[in-house]
Amino acid sequence: MLLIGLCSLTGVAQSKVTTPKDSISPSILPNPYKPLAPARAAFYSAVLPGLGQAFNGKYWKVPIVYAALGTSVYAYSFNNTNYKKYQKAFKLRENGKVDDFDGLEGRPFLTVDALERAQKSYRKDRDLSLLAGVGIYVLQIVEASVNAHLLQFNVNENLSYGPQFTLDPVTRNAVVGAGLNIKF
């Protein structure tokens, strides 16, 4: 049975068809303009952060995006946990019950005022962490779109701008100028 299966696989062959090559070499062709590339990069970054950077070929930016987003998520989680901890202790203290910050022999580690201030501080930090996370998310979308736009610019040796230094033939002094070189 195995021998029949192997023989049937080797019995099929295809003929090679050659097509004539174009007269223009691929190295002369300009980089084609892709009008939808920035929108596609922005969409990819919105769907999955860092995917727009990968679409643009800037793979080294992906870990930076995830590190920034991960830091803001960690800060949010840390501040939210502490906010809830101090909020719970504040509510228990207001109702006259035992909380985590009661201390020894009836002497509390933190006063009611300190619990309230800590609660406000962690809530403010939590909200700022959320705002930073949203800002980083939007920033990586904008960065992917702008980078896709910039990748479409023509930056080759035929177009250059730079300083030019020449000698004045009459006074023999150096003359500094700027020049735009366009080669066809």
Distance separating alpha carbons of residues 178 and 22, to the nearest angstrom: 40
Mean pLDDT to the nearest integer, 89-105: 83
H/E element holding 162?
strand 159-167
Give the domain ranges of the chain: 34-153
Q: Which two tokens stand for residue 133?
A: 């996370």
User: Which range is least confidently modeled, 70-74, 145-149, 178-182?
Assistant: 178-182
The answer to whether the beta carbons of residues 148 and 56 sit under 8 Å apart is yes
42 compared with 168, residue with greater pLDDT:
42
For residue range 26-52, list pLDDT tens digits in order. 555 555 667 778 999 999 999 999 999
Write down the pTM of the prediction.
0.66
Distance separating alpha carbons of residues 154 and 170, to the nearest angstrom: 39
pLDDT for residue 165: 76
What percent helix, strand, coil does the chain show, rounded to 5?
Answer: 55, 10, 35
